[in-house]
Structure 1
Amino acid sequence: MTNERRVLVHPDKGALSGSVAARFITKMLDILDTQAVAHVVLTGGSMGAAVLEAVGASPARTTIDWSRVHFWWGDERWVPARDSERNDEQARTALLDSLELPAGNVHPFPASDGGLELDEAAEAYAAELAQHGVDGLPHPIFDITFLGVGPDGHIASLFPHRSGIQVTDRTVIPVRNSPKPPPERLSLTRPVINASQRIWLVLAGADKASALGLALAGASRDEVPVAGIKGRKRTVFFVDGDAAAEVPETLIARDY
């Protein structure tokens, strides 16, 4: 089984979101042709929402049996349910609400108004992951994990020079004093993310160029967390031209 990193460059954000959406639909068809269910991790941010909106706008979305797809999240802001800042709420608006998914297929992180404290919420999500664990793991093996990347190189809510990127004995961690608001969050840990079959990182904008360049140059995961991310089968950086400014030409793939 190959384990590859590829960088695919697109001319602009619109082409980027459309291309990723088309590849997602195609890959989901392939996955569901060989297994009963699929597990997908979603991300937040403007590009995460743009990709989901493009999936929703595609006529090809009707070719997928969405009742066999489970959706999870890589991280979440510790704010009330239905808050527009929540990643799951953005995903519902962009795509999920239009799919008429079984309620049990959508796995949002607990919300701050749900009656749990932050540490309890992390434990609750870890328990939910464990309910779908396979191969002796306390979590599903995700078929596709979407990730955004911050200008500082953070992924999910695993930030540079913070202990979260180093945690290996838990599947979910509470995050406090986040350098990016809001200060409290929940996040999957690196081992769970790296157990994914495919990790798709979607980046746009010149402010992401330095982090991407450093990650591909072998920077420390503690300094640039995205450098420590690699899927079991494949890791693909889907980027626009601005984000690719510091990527060596030899690392840019000509096709998928």
Structure 2
Amino acid sequence: MKRALVTGGSGGIGAAICRRLAADGCHVIVHGNRGRDKAAAVVGEILAGGGSAEAIIFDVTEREPTATALAEFLAAGPIQILVNNAGIHADAVFPGMSGEQWDSVIDVSLNGFFNVTRPLILPMIRTRWGRIVTVSSIAAITGNRGQVNYSAAKGALHAASKSLALEVASRGITVNAVAPGIIATGMVDGAFDPATIKALVPMQRAGRPEEVADLVGFLASDQAAYISGQVISINGALI
């Protein structure tokens, strides 16, 4: 049974990814930052459905504590599927954006990618099989007003994924990014009303977290062995 770590696994998209990977037969490690109860709830749901899961709690922005937490799991064997899903918003138009807003978003998305992926990569390489999928955003492709920090962080993850894909391609490891558009989660509910979504999105609806999870699940499978270094957007024909 392959072990899969999903950072930000207690959120709307993250939880859907955890459920999908568990349904595909993985042992899922559901990561939370401070949301231990939420991570435990996702684990409980997976276990109740006959799947295999456990929770892990750490702050992806703290390098040494992250490495320590992951080392405990690596003692039981490699993690061969990694979904970098942790991310935050701190929106503001650029002239009014604070240094803390800039730093916090970059720290979680970009430094979090490094802090989590680097300890896992050598054990993954030794197995000569691995899947790394990073959840990005359409904002990294098109830009978005009020999200210079978020777009910068996610765009950097696209470049990092493409470069890492080149480094590990000969070892049976794929590295890809998934860039969702408007997805029906709590974060989006407060930003877009149904009429706005209908006007913006050619498919006239928000995507479902499960649809993002299906794409991630495919990229994490054996069937996607020749897909690497790609940024795949899922956005209802918005772009």
Same fold, judged at TM 0.5 (above)? no
TM class, shorter-length? 0.3 to 0.5
**Structure having greater relative contact order (Cα 8 Å, sep ≥ 6):** 1
